Amino acid sequence: MTTTDTPLTKVLGAKTAKALETHLDLHTAGDLIYHFPRRYDERGEHTDLRRLEVDEQATVLAQVQGINVKPMRARRGNMLEVTIGDGTGATLTCTFFNQAWRERELRKGVWGLFAGKVTEFRGKRQLNGPAYQLLSADATQDDAAAEIEEFAGALIPVYPAAQAVPTWVIAKCVRTLLDTFEPPADPLPAETRAKRNLVGIGTALREIHRPSSEEALYRAKYRLKWDEAFAVQLTLVQRRARAAAAPGTARPRAEAGLLAKFDAGLPYELTEGQRAVGEEIAADLARPHPMHRLLQGEVGSGKTLVSVRAMLQVVDAGGQAALLAPTEVLATQHFRGISAQLGALGRAGELDGDPEGTQLTLVTGSLGAAARRAALAKAADGTAGIVVGTHALLYEGVDFKDLGLVVVDEQHRFGVEQRDALRAKAARPPHVLVMTATPIPRTVAMTVYGDLETSVLSQLPRGRSPIASHVVPALDKPAYLDRAWKRIQEEVRAGHQAYVVCPRIGDDEESPPTDDEPGRRPPLAVTEVLPLLRNEYLTGLRIEMLHGKMPPDEKDAVMRRFAAGDLDVLVATTVIEVGVDVPNSTVMLILDADRFGVSQLHQLRGRVGRGSAPGICLLHTESAEGSAARERLDAVASTTDGFKLSEIDLEQRREGDVLGASQSGKHSHLRLLSLLRDEKLIKEARTEASELIGDDPDLSRHPALAASVAALVDEERAEYLEKG
């Protein structure tokens, strides 16, 4: 009997087991049984050769259509060319060097599976020396497939494979394993299986490898997807339940205090969304358990204002708040912005300060020794109710008197350990508010941030202007780029300012790889573009550059001059992506926009249109019309709905390992579950997990399920989710 823990050496022998271990990192029967096919070839429905891409590792089901042996000119010997087709009219050439003997078995009319890397030679796609598994030379394709016992049934599994271990070798190994495999006891409670109409785990594992029908395969996949979704949701619901029960310090709203004074002095009304989210957060802070809330908001929706009001509520209740920002530029901008918003309320102890107010302080890595000592002293003795900083807040020696609230801005820029290090500086677990202007698809929010309560700000404050976006196809229509430079000049003449964004800094910086298009030029750089603008495209305008490698005082000086209107154009990298707020900036030209992700482009264009004048975002590209890169830019130009763009972004990134591949081992990522297509299933798993954890918080009455969760969401990843 073979169980999931049985080493593959005992099932397949040392040689085969070693190959699977070396090339696919498969060690046990469980590893192999959970190495699912990535697709299925059907007899009578051949692989479409027209969809193959150069450099793709492909496995195709095709028929030999022609054979040609010819001498090689450059060296001694001969080359065997075998033309294969799939019935669509498309063909592929398989080449073999000095292997003319293969002509005897690769006869015209034979069907087979061919695997190798797709290359191109003189405009024709080919496979060089592919591995192959022949079906039959004489019978029909249906009859031939039936002869191959490794591929029993109408659906032929095609596995994620390696050159040394092709898909049919894996299929044969799986068949050998299934002959003796004893599936584990089903971890799902019987009532859950019945309620959700799920097949048993043993049936699912057999049918996904050797499906007896399309319906059986669908039911097997659905059950295994359910297991993945359920394991993640159980982990997150458990964490949320523990957080809700953990002891914290209540920070209730004061009837009269800093927050009340702040609200009374606002020169504008809060939006309906800001009020509603503010009430949710205020209620969380008033509870004696730590808040864990995710605040999503479109660019410019007023998330910072919401966080300031939360910080003031905590200060009113005797605590301190820390705001963690990913860059010095953003931290400094937050510090100045909050100082301006608070006015006298943030200058307690100064001549023009409100004696009932508090103080702010800024902690960054570039502070001088004296300034750093002063800032740390204010944080440690509680003088500073609000501390704004970068990663420098995490260092040893940065202490707080009573840290009650941690606000993490652009949380996706921080690692788990960094956020955890700041929370650890509180005597009791603090309230946590994480903010992002990068819209998160609902299923990602439910799966990655499912332990957090979620608030969404979708309404823009009054006075924000619309942003028009246009693609500038420089190769197809060079006149469009000339027009873009003129548009910037027109905006500057009208009294406004502009950004020109580049993908990299330049100088000695190494160019990022360009695997997608061999021979493609390196991305445009700030240091290369700056002199071109000054001397050619934007002559006479006041232009400076800004990038992450500049000394902090230089960056600060440039941002101050730009904010004051002393510069017309800022040539920058993505250092301006978040938080930079210059209302007079109305136009942005993003050079090589196809080198940026969808969410990055959406963030960047949020820097314009922040005042009363409309914003314009121009997306420069040399990508061809109809290419994936061009389609991505067209999508960004077509809408300013960040949540719609986040779905596009997720689809184009192919989801990846949503729980953070860098935080975990190979065998614990989601193999089948699609965050794009399985939203309904994920919601149902969430509901079921909530009911089960409500009844059995530690899964003590469901030990098999607890073990299954531990296997699918391994220890390292559980810690990743736990730290959140």
- CATH code of 129's domain: 2.40.50.140
Tokens 């300013």, located at residue: 640
Q: Does residue 668 form part of some domain?
A: no
> Is the distance from CB of 359 to CB of 387 less than 8 angstroms?
no
User: Would the pLDDT of 413 be above 60?
Assistant: no
Is residue 279 pLDDT above 70, yes or no?
yes
Mean pLDDT over 335-345 rounds to 92
Residue whose entry in the numeric block shows the structure tokens 């399985």? 678
Asked if 282 contacts 312 with a C-beta cutoff of 8 angstroms, the reply is no
Q: Of 448 and 240, which is predicted with more confidence? A: 240
Task: Kindly tell me if the per-residue pLDDT of 87 is higher than 80.
Answer: no
Cα separations in angstroms, 586 against 368, 493, 495, 578, 645: 35, 12, 10, 16, 22
User: In terms of pLDDT, which residue wins out, 428 or 298?
Assistant: 428
Question: Per-residue pLDDT tens for 419-467?
Answer: 677 778 888 889 989 888 766 666 666 666 666 778 888 766 666 677 8
Per the CB < 8 A criterion, the answer to whether 118 and 130 are in contact is no
pLDDT value of position 578: 63
For residue 192, is it within any domain?
Answer: no
What was the pLDDT predicted at 425? 84
Instruction: Indicate whether 54 and 154 sit together in one domain.
Output: yes
What is the span of the domain harbouring residue 119? 8-182
Residue 599 shares a structural domain with residue 503: yes
DSSP 129: S
Report pLDDT for 442.
63
Does any domain span residue 138? yes
648-695 tens-digit pLDDT: 766 655 444 444 433 333 343 567 887 777 888 988 999 999 999 988
Residues 367 and 439 in one domain: yes
pLDDT at 475 over 70: yes
Q: What does the pLDDT average to over 517-531?
A: 81
Do both 265 and 175 map to the same domain? no
Q: Are residues 507 and 613 in the same domain?
A: yes
Question: Quick check: is 299 in a domain?
Answer: yes
Top pLDDT among 606 and 417 is at 606
Cβ-contact 416, 723 below 8 angstroms: yes
Q: Which one has a higher pLDDT value, 130 or 660?
A: 130
Sign of the C-alpha dihedral computed for residues 351, 352, 357 and 363 taken in this order = negative
C-beta contacts of 377-381 below 8 A and 24+ residues apart: 379/320
Domain count across the chain: 3
Position 83 scores a pLDDT of 93
For tokens 């991305």, the residue is: 523
- Are 329 and 397 members of one domain? yes
**Domain match, 163 and 274 both:** no
Tell me, what's the pLDDT at 129?
81
Give the tens place of pLDDT for each residue, 139-185.
Answer: 444 444 444 434 434 577 888 888 788 888 898 899 999 999 999 88
CATH of the domain at 382: 3.40.50.300
Whether residues 447 and 484 fall in one domain = no
Beta-strand relationship, 111-121 and 124-128: antiparallel
Q: How far apart are the first and last CA of the chain?
A: 41
CA distance 488 to 38: 49
pLDDT tens track for 212-239: 888 999 999 999 999 989 988 898 888 8
193 three-class SS: helix
Same domain? For 53 and 164 the reply is yes
Tell whether the model's pLDDT for residue 501 goes beyond 60.
yes
Average pLDDT across the chain, whole number: 83
CA distance 206 to 201: 9
In a domain, 657, yes or no: no
Do 476 and 453 sit in the same domain of this protein?
no
Q: Which of 56-65, 327-336, 402-411, 482-491 has the lowest mean pLDDT?
A: 56-65
Which of 624, 639, 654 is the endpoint of a domain? 639
399 & 473 share domain: no
Q: What is the pLDDT of residue 579?
A: 59
Distances in whole angstroms, Cα of residue 632 to Cα of each of 172, 248, 594, 598, 627: 41, 45, 8, 7, 9
Looking at the predicted structure, is the pLDDT value of residue 102 above 80?
yes
Residue 213 lies in a domain: no
Residue 277, pLDDT > 90, answer yes
Residue where one domain finishes, among candidates 422, 457, 492: 457
Q: With pLDDT > 70 as the criterion, what percentage of the chain qualifies?
A: 84
The pLDDT-based confidence of 415 (bands split at 50, 70, 90) is low
- 645 within domain boundaries: no
Indicate the residue among 432, 457, 482 that finishes a domain: 457
Within-domain flag for 228: no
**For the whole prediction, is pTM greater than 0.75?**
no
Q: What is the pLDDT of residues 550-606, one digit of tens each?
A: 888 898 899 889 999 999 999 999 888 665 778 899 999 999 999 988 878 888 888
Asked if 177 and 277 sit in the same domain, the reply is no
115 versus 20: the higher-pLDDT residue is 20
Per-residue model confidence (pLDDT) at position 14? 93
Whether 387 shows a pLDDT value over 90: the answer reads yes
Element (H, E) at 500: strand 497-501
